[in-house]
């Protein structure tokens, strides 16, 4: 299922990229840069088939399809942001609030009544943000996870993603896909002190605090809700994407109850299922590596990392982090 960066499983015939630590293309044996398990997976009797690898072109084409299928995204009239100060590279670490006004001037909160938004928002208060403190998952929180997965799977966007992964023999059924989404995103693991204190969903969407700094926290809805409450303070931005509609991408600096995020990034105005689906695609196709995509004719990359210290099932990995990269 997983195309680990040091393995050829699911990567046979994948095009050469300098970013990869080892390779699985047809010329790698001659160039002596194959992954150690290249023969086992990609040889004549190998486990993986080259037609089941995911090419760069397929990633670009599918991401455009998912972008087009994001029917729940914000319209231009639904959100007004005020980015204010653009920070240079030397400024992002200075922890100075150079933007006196909030980032969000206006959000049409009718968006939040849509089923994928409302089920997503219910998940955000299920976590203790400090690492090292074990998460206790209640029966109600498990129901909220199930409800969110049910709602996103009703969307055309997630159905397109499943159909693609099914065609690549990554999943045999939609039920198998949903079960794996639950584990990779909501399964608990330890970031500190041996306590099961974290999950991919908590880190990416809700945010954590580790060693006195904000960790993760890459979601615009979470940011807006906390800024509205007065506990998030927007400082500046260091990147604003080329999109003139939503979703857009912003690289930003902020504090959360006094804890600082030096360089964060977030899609602005996308639906929960868009982020969830795009990050899932990149985690399955390019974990630990840059995942090169296309949205509305503009290139961008998503970076994901698997949690390598523990896993589930037969060698599967939890999501450690996922975020859109700002140049």
Active site residues: 203, 218, 261
Enumerate long-range contacts of 167-170, CB under 8 Å, 24 or more apart: 168/10, 168/52, 168/54, 169/49, 169/52, 170/1, 170/10, 170/52, 170/284
Q: What sign does the dihedral 230-231-235-239 (CA atoms) show? A: negative
Q: Does residue 247 have a cis bond before it (omega within 30 degrees)?
A: yes
Secondary structure tally for the chain: helices H, strands E: 10, 10
DSSP 8-state class, residue 219: B
> What does the radius of gyration of the chain's CA atoms come to, in whole angstroms?
20
Nearest Cα neighbor of 108 from 246, 232, 278 is 246
């Amino acid at each position: 299922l997983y195309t680990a960066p040091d393995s050829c499983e699911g990567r046979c015939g994948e095009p050469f990229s300098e970013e990869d630590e080892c390779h699985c293309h047809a010329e790698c044996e001659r160039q002596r840069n194959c992954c150690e398990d290249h023969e086992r997976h990609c040889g004549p009797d190998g486990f993986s088939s080259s037609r089941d690898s995911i090419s760069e072109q397929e990633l670009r084409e599918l991401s455009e399809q998912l972008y087009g299928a994001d029917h729940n995204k914000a319209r231009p009239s639904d959100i007004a942001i005020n980015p204010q100060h653009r920070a240079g590279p030397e400024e992002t670490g200075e922890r100075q609030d150079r933007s006196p006004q909030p980032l969000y001037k206006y959000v049409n909160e009718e968006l939040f009544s849509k089923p994928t938004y409302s089920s997503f928002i219910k998940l955000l208060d299920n976590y203790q943000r400090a690492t090292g403190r074990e998460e206790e998952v209640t029966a109600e929180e498990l129901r909220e996870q199930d409800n969110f997965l049910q709602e996103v799977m009703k969307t055309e966007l997630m159905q397109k993603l499943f159909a693609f992964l099914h065609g690549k023999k990554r999943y045999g059924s939609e039920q198998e896909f949903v079960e794996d989404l639950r584990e990779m995103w909501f399964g608990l693991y330890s970031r500190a002190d041996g306590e099961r204190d974290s999950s991919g969903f908590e880190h990416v969407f809700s945010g954590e605090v580790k060693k006195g700094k904000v960790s993760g926290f890459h979601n615009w809805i979470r940011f807006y809700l906390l800024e509205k409450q007065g506990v998030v303070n927007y400082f500046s931005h260091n990147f604003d994407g080329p999109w003139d509609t939503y979703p857009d991408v912003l690289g930003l600096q902020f504090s959360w109850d006094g804890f600082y995020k030096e360089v964060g990034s977030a899609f602005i105005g996308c639906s929960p299922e868009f982020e969830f689906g795009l990050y899932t695609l990149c985690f399955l196709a390019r974990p630990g590596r840059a995942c090169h995509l296309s949205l509305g004719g503009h290139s961008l990359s998503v970076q994901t990392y698997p949690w390598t210290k523990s896993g589930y099932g037969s060698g599967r990995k939890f999501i450690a982090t996922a975020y859109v990269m700002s140049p």
